[in-house]
Amino acid sequence: MTYEEFIAKAINGRSVNSLAKAWGIPQTSLSNYSLGKTLPDFSTALLLAKEAGMEEAEVFRLLAREDARRKKEKGRIKQPLAKLSPSFDALLRMASACWMQIQRVAQ
């Protein structure tokens, strides 16, 4: 089961707003969980596990896998950016030098 499937199972077609009120958690938090923007904290994960009819250990393993997947994905994004950063910095220095030349000529 994926994280998205787990959240859908816990929400079970109900509105995020009504569930957040019933569960006593901020609506924005539950909305972020359902949109996949953030992962729930431990106490909310327990509540979601109960609502989804799943074992707590199974849910924590699922959340750990999702967290690891997200960290791995972040790493894939950071590596190319780190390679581009020196080139981008050099480009900015060249642009700045050109701009200073243009300003001198314009005076």
pLDDT digits (tens, 9 = 90+) for 22-32: 999 999 999 99
Tell me the two tokens of residue 22: 């019933």
What is the chain's Cα-based Rg? 23
Tell me the two tokens of residue 99: 């701009």
d(CA 7, CA 85): 37
pLDDT digits (tens, 9 = 90+) for 11-64: 999 999 999 999 999 999 999 999 999 999 999 999 999 999 999 999 999 999
pLDDT bin (cut points 50, 70, 90) of residue 74 is confident
pLDDT digits (tens, 9 = 90+) for 79-105: 666 676 777 777 778 888 888 888 888
5 HSE (CA, 13 A, CB side):
5
d(CA 20, CA 11): 10
